[in-house]
């Protein structure tokens, strides 16, 4: 191995052991970090090709290597690395076994898999080891297509996965939602028949709750709604990872949660951010996804004069939303009675998205109601997979 390669390897090893969250560090700052590490190696001056080292290390350490080939494909949504056994990719139609020999060769041993697991964990400011064998994190990368893409990952390593696997790595590819409102109409994600209603809901500042399963396009639809909000609105959004396209509106203030560091400190949750947002003079509060006890702050905000807000939750169907709200409320110590009374007043409309092979679309528009004293949903418009839409009698009562 040449002196050049030995020095590069040593520097990479030092960088991988650096205790910092590199996900929060921009490209210029990362280059400075590399330069500072290089200054501790006097032998660098003996290498003619030294000037190439910083760039090479930056490209190697702060990327996902051969996986960029997959990430550059716009339809790719998930990558699953089953240790050194197999790799599957979802291009929108379900997992497909990968047959790319170049990529497979980079993950054909437990050591290679664990090296990759440690690298992306380091970039996210978390640590994966037999002592902490389960980690979650997010990293932002620059792909070959010169696009910034966020990867959300989960890693489970030995001894919790089969011996010899190294680790099981699940990666969700999160792209900024660049599709406009009209793009979604053209793609039949938004049925043209419901466009006037959606415009009226936004213009009249109704609080909207978007629901749907994984990969149904909740964030894509949410981002498109912001495009049709008034330009005078000050919109403050909260997300775990950057997915909402800030360019869709002239006054979006994006905020992001933060995981704790290796010492278990420094965490900032959606609950924390929401409490802060209430004092930031928002015209519209946007919570990318409600996952836990932040539901308490959201419901109170929407019940105390904050209008035009938008949030999303996971739900298999429109009728499952009450149960999902009860589950979220339990994290905040709210009773079902409290969730019922607060939710009916907070959310003016429910919009559910569904997913079919090769298609994602709005399938239900509804509202919360009481059924024998219990929280329930009342359907206003149902849209079938073939595009046919039916307005219920409750829709006409709602409009009137």
The DSSP code sequence of 289-330 is ---STHHHHHHHHHTTT--S-EEEEE-SSGGGHHHHHHHHHH
Least confident of 46-55, 61-70, 174-183, 274-283: 46-55
**Residue located via tokens 């951010």:** 273
Can you tell me the distance from the alpha carbon of 10 to that of 41, in angstroms, rounded to the nearest whole number? 9
What number is the average pLDDT over the span 162-184? 88
pLDDT, tens digit, for every residue of 126-145? Answer: 888 898 899 988 888 766 55
Residue 172 clears pLDDT 70, i.e. is over it: yes
The full set of domain ranges for the chain reads: 3-174, 181-399
Give the confidence band of 60 by pLDDT, cuts at 50, 70, 90: low
Q: How much is the pLDDT for 137?
A: 85
- For the structural domain made of 181-399, what CATH number should be given? 3.40.50.300
Lowest mean pLDDT, pick from 33-47, 253-267, 322-336: 33-47
Cis omega before residue 108 (within 30°)?
Answer: no
**Confidence (pLDDT) at 179:** 80
Residues 6+ apart with CB under 8 A from 248: 180, 223, 224, 226, 227
- What is 3-174's CATH number? 3.30.450.90
Cα–Cα nearest to 259, from 116, 152, 365: 152
DSSP-derived letter for residue 127 is -
pLDDT, position 296: 96
pLDDT > 90 fraction of the chain, expressed in percent and rounded: 57
pLDDT above 70 for 385: yes
pLDDT at 337: 95
pTM comes to 0.79
In this prediction, residue 169 carries a pLDDT of 97
Q: How many other CB atoms are there within 10 angstroms of residue 88's CB atom? A: 15
Least confidently predicted of 29-38, 102-111, 235-244 = 29-38
Residue 236 pLDDT: 97
Torsion of CA 181, 183, 184, 187, to 10 degrees: 160
Query: Does 397 have pLDDT greater than 80?
Result: no
Extract the tokens encoding 108: 């054909």
For residue 248, name the pLDDT band (cuts at 50, 70, 90): confident
Answer yes or no: are the C-beta atoms of 21 and 260 closer than 8 Å: no
What is the arithmetic mean of pLDDT over 335-357?
Answer: 94
Strand partners, 391: 381
- C-alpha 397/C-alpha 400 separation (Å) is 5
Which of 85-99, 147-161, 180-194, 198-212 is modeled with the greatest confidence?
198-212
| CA angle at 335 for the pair 331 and 341, rounded to the nearest 5° | 115
């Amino acid at each position: 191995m040449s002196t050049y390669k030995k020095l590069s390897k040593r520097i990479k090893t030092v960088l991988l052991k650096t205790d910092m969250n590199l996900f929060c560090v921009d490209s210029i700052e990362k280059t400075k970090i590399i330069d500072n590490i290089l200054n501790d190696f006097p032998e660098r001056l003996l290498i003619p090709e030294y000037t190439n080292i910083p760039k090479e290390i930056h490209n190697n350490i702060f990327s996902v290597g051969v996986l960029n080939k997959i990430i550059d494909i716009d339809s790719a949504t998930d990558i699953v690395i089953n240790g050194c056994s197999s790799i599957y990719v979802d291009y929108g139609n379900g997992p497909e076994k990968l047959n790319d020999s170049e990529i497979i060769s980079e993950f054909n041993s437990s050591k290679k898999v664990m090296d990759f697991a440690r690298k992306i964990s380091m970039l996210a400011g978390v640590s994966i080891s037999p002592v902490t064998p389960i980690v979650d994190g997010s990293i932002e990368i620059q792909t070959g297509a010169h696009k910034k893409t966020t990867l959300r990952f989960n890693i489970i390593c030995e001894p919790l996965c089969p011996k010899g696997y190294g680790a099981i790595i699940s990666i969700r590819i999160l792209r900024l939602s660049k599709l406009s409102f009209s793009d979604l109409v053209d793609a039949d994600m938004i049925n043209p028949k419901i466009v006037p209603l959606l415009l009226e809901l936004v213009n009249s500042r109704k609080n909207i709750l978007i629901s749907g399963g994984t990969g149904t396009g909740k964030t894509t639809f949410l981002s498109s709604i912001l495009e049709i909000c008034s330009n005078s609105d000050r919109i403050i959004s909260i997300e775990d990872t950057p997915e909402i396209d800030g360019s869709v509106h002239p006054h979006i203030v994006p905020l992001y949660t933060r995981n704790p560091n290796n010492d278990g400190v420094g965490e900032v949750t959606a609950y924390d951010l929401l409490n802060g947002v209430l004092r930031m003079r928002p015209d519209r509060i946007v919570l990318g996804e409600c996952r836990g006890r932040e539901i308490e702050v959201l419901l109170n905000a929407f019940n105390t004069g904050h209008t035009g807000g938008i949030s999303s939750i996971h739900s298999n169907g429109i009728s499952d939303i009450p149960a999902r709200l009860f589950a979220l409320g339990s994290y905040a110590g709210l009773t079902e009675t409290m969730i019922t009374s607060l939710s009916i007043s907070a959310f003016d409309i429910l919009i559910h998205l569904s997913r079919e092979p090769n298609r994602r679309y709005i399938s239900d528009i509804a509202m919360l109601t009481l059924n024998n004293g219990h929280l329930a949903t009342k359907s206003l418009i149902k849209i079938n997979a073939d595009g046919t839409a039916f307005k219920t009698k409750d829709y006409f009562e709602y409009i009137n």
